Every structure is written in structure tokens, then in C-alpha cells.
Amino acid sequence: MMLHIPELLTREEVAECRRLMAAAEWVDGLTTAGAQSAQCKRNRQLPEGTATIARLREIMVTALMKNKLFFSAVLPKQILPPYFNHYEGGGYYGNHIDNAIRYAHGSTEGIRTDVSTTIFLTDPEEYEGGELIVEDTYGRHEVKLPAGDAIVYPSTSLHRVEPVTKGARIGSFLWTQSLVRTAWQRAMLFELDMNILKLRSQLGDTPEVVALTGHYHKLLQQWAE
């Protein structure tokens, strides 16, 4: 399941992120690439261990954890600290699938990457190219969103970032281990949750709505790890 989350960040939060990143020093994106992705990756990223990346991560994680759509769709158990990337001058990231297990900087505890998230920090008119392309069993999806918007999708999806031919594309990306491992189960729970919310807004807490809510939580209890 792919999900567009509009206005994850406010315009003020986007502006603060842009200000912090404009003053930062960027490093070669190969520093976080695996053996396979290193062959098809050309971008820059913010280095670890700086006050800048710590503040940026605080902004991202706070916004994610208070966003109801993200929480319902992803059911986060652990969120890896977000990374930040910068594409320009033909920079790209070719077809790849994210590693199944990743480690936070300085940690020996592996986190399963169930869900990938990209948060856009530049508006579409600021650059040419740079589309996020995600391919799954339903076909090819092209994503280029306003600054502050996010897209979430299963980390098992084949995806890439097209070359940026003009301007610069800046964004954040991160992985989440979900309470529910399987993508179809997360999608079912999300659809059920959204429909319960709609019914509650239309009908109130009728016995039927309460019963459906109970079924949702029974399924979550059954599937959660």
C-alpha cells in the first residue's frame, strides 16, 4: 500500500529545515549505501553526529508520531532516525530495494524495515526530474509532492529517484519497523480504521460502530508483534 500524507510538516517547519540544511556541510551519499545500491547512487547526504541532523530528526519524528494517517497506516514500533539527501546536477538513485534490516548509527540492534517514508522538502517547481518511482504488483507509480508532504510505501518495493536535471531536490527518508509485519494486514487494518472513523463521524458511537472498533482491536492484537 502506498499512501500520500499531505502537509506532514507545516510551512514553518519546512522553512526551518531548509534554513538548517542551507548552512550544513553535505557528504557523499555512498557513505550509507550497501554494496548493490552503491553502484547506482549519486547524491549527497547530511553527516551523522551534528547538532543540525539531531534537530532535523527531532522535527521529522515529532511530526510523524502526531500524524494520525501515518500512525494508522504504519503502526510504528520503531522508527530509524531519518536521513536527509540532496540531488542536483544529474544526481539520481537507480532501481533498488531497501535492506531488510538496518542499524541506527552507533547501534548494534537491527531494525526490520517494513515501511519506507520519503518526506519532500522542496516544491516540484524548484527542480526538474527527481521523481520518486515506485514499482509494485499494481504497476509503476510516479511521486513528486509539495514540500512538507510525505509518501509511505512497503520497503520491499522496487524504487528509484530519477536524475535531477535542473535545480535541487532535497528530502528526508526513513524506515519504520511496524507492529504488524505483513503489508496486506497493515493495509486491511488501515482501511478498516478509516471506515470506522467515517462511520463514527456520520453516525456517532452506535452499537455497530463500537462492535467494528472492537473487531479492529482484536485483529491488531492478533497480528501485532
Domains located in the chain, CATH noted = 3-178 (2.60.120.620), 183-223 (4.10.860)
pLDDT number for residue 29: 83
pLDDT for the residue numbered 157: 95
pLDDT of residue 32: 60
**Interacting residues of 152 by C-beta distance below 8 A, sequence separation 6+:** 2, 3, 5, 70, 73, 74, 115, 116, 117
pLDDT computed for residue 34 by the predictor: 56
Q: What is the reported pLDDT for 30?
A: 75
> 43: Cβ–Cβ under 8 A, 6 or more apart, which residues?
29, 85, 86, 87, 91, 92, 93, 161
Residue segments in the chain with a per-residue pLDDT below the cut of 50: none
- Strands 44-45 and 150-154, bridge-based pairing: unpaired
pLDDT at residue 27, rounded to an integer: 95
Question: Crossing angle, helix 51-65 and helix 11-22, to 10 degrees?
Answer: 160
Look up the pTM and report it.
Answer: 0.93
| Dist CA 171 CA 143 (whole Å) | 13
pLDDT of residue 35: 56
Cell, residue 77: 514500533
Structure confidence at residue 138 (pLDDT): 84
